[in-house]
Chain A
Amino acid sequence: MKKVLWSAVMAVALVAPALAHHSPAAFDRTKKVTLVGTVKEFRWQNPHTWIEVEVPDEKDKSKQVVWGVELTSPTYLIRAGWKSNIIKPGDKVTVVVNPVRSGEPSGIFVSMTLADGRELFERPARLGTPESK
């Protein structure tokens, strides 16, 4: 039976800018939402990889809500152990996001746990520092 967990927790962290094509100001970096659901679609592409995750509606659990999850470029995901086939539609996943401030089902990726227990992150932004040479 699918366990549904939506939690909003305060997080204080210095967030390095990710490789993005748009302003990140839409996201509330102080909040995290944990989505336990099923992969609807996974697109491995530039400038952003994205995942659509179906999760039961909090108010009416007979309905599904599709969350859009935005990630950085595959260039950096590869270095964090990602592959283009690491998830596929139908896979059970737990995804943590910083949500958009409007309350819509959209967020920027923080981490993901696969059904086999593996936990995935985006590669920390090493570019932009002098040791990147």
Chain B
Amino acid sequence: MTSSKTIRAAAVAAALSLAAAGCTTAPSQPAPPAPSQAEADAIAAGTLSALAPANLNKARPAPPFDLTSNWFIDVSQDPKAWHFYLPPLPKLTAAAQKEYDTSMKYDAEGKVYKDDIGQCWPAGMPLIMTRYWPMAMIQKPTAIYMISGFMNSVRIVYLDGRKHTDLDVIVRTYNGESIGEWQGNELVVDTIGFRGDHHWMDQDGPAIPAGEKLHIVERFRMVNDGKQLEIEFTMTDPDHWEGEWKSTKRFNRVVDVDIQEVSCLPDLNAHIKSTTSKTQVFQ
């Protein structure tokens, strides 16, 4: 038996011993404390943080599943499954079609068209979900914190009943503002508030832009006894395509890899020479 197996066996034995003694690893919680004055003020102002004890301790129905895990896009059926440009695609608007056609022209010439991500712009939604890097998800009663192994991009899905921020004050971002709601055995996440510059639905082949009107609804569900996560994306952006763009992706639960600190440092591309080579086209 290897040392790691010995340690694991000892841990299991210790857990069984505790269980036999009537102990569990999740002891019953004491009654939540009354909100502090600061929390009471925040509740009155509608600004209570997702991680405030008064918010975390609020009575809620138990969620149907816990997303806490590392996840990685499933490419076992298709090596390109991490892309969103796979058919069927919606009918693109003239502006988006122009970008699509231009990117394909350069792709045929062996050139890379507007590889903004390679120049350290954020991948943004929806690409950040399927970037070929593991993603850590940490689920709390009030929010799910998603941290991509790709540039440690953070996405937060709020579950505490808040509404979307008014668009006239929202700070637009590449991952947008996500509000989630449990519906039966699914988590439904609504995301708006995107930046529309240097933001792409996909690159590395056909380039399809994403704009400020992008609206994404995701339905999260567990499949294969929790070994896989399935997300059904329904996306609209009237500036770039007509109607709904639907795509369903599966993700594998990963238990042997953790995310690390990953940054696009100022000197990175000076040494990753392909990003500054003559193959790059930015006009």
Contacts and interface: CB of A to CB of B under 8 A. Distances in A.
Given A46-B263, A47-B262, A70-B272, A22 B133 contact: no
Interface in B209-229: 224, 227-228
Task: Output the residue of A19, A48, A50, A132 with the most chain B CB within 10 A.
Answer: A132
Interface residues on B, range: 35 or more
Task: Output the residue of B73, B75, B203, B274 with the most chain A CB within 10 A.
Answer: B274
Contact of B75 (A18, A52, A129): A129
A85 interface: no
Contact of A25 (B75, B112, B224, B268): B112
A26 interface: yes
A43 interface: yes
Contacts of B254: 127, 132-133
Contacts of B271: 41, 43, 50, 52, 68
B280 A130 contact: no
A102 interface: yes
Contact of A133 (B205, B227, B272): B227
Contacts of A130: 74, 76, 224, 227-228, 252
A76 B272 CA distance: 18
Interface in B74-126: 74-76, 79, 82, 107, 110-112, 115, 117-120
B150 to A, nearest CB: 7
Interface in B175-226: 203-205, 224
A50 B203 CA distance: 23
A84 interface: no
Given A23-B112, A26-B280, A127-B254, A48 B268 contact: yes
Given A70-B274, A101-B110, A128 B227 contact: no
Given A23-B204, A106-B274, A127-B254, A46 B261 contact: yes
A21 interface: yes
Contact of B151 (A21, A24, A48, A101): A21
Contacts of B256: 132
Interface in A4-53: 14, 16-28, 41, 43, 45-48, 50, 52
Contacts of A68: 271-274
B273 A100 contact: yes
A28 B249 CA distance: 28
Contacts of A21: 117-118, 120, 150-151, 264, 268, 272
Task: Output the residue of A16, A48, A70, A127 with the most chain B CB within 10 A.
Answer: A127
A102 B132 contact: no
Would you call the interface of chain A mostly helix, strand, loop, or mixed? Answer: loop
28 contacts: A17-B75, A21-B118, A21-B120, A21-B150, A22-B112, A22-B117, A23-B117, A23-B203, A25-B110, A25-B115, A26-B111, A26-B275, A26-B279, A46-B260, A46-B261, A47-B262, A47-B268, A48-B268, A48-B272, A50-B271, A68-B271, A102-B278, A102-B279, A104-B273, A104-B277, A132-B257, A133-B227, A133-B254
Interface of A: 14, 16-28, 41, 43, 45-48, 50, 52, 68, 70, 73, 75, 100-102, 104-108, 127-130, 132-133
Interface of B: 72-76, 79, 82, 107, 110-112, 115, 117-120, 132-134, 149-151, 203-205, 224, 227-228, 252-257, 260-265, 268, 271-275, 277-280
Ranked nearest first, the 9 interchain pairs of A and B with the lowest CB-CB distance are A22-B118, A106-B273, A68-B273, A102-B278, A101-B110, A26-B279, A128-B75, A46-B262, A23-B204
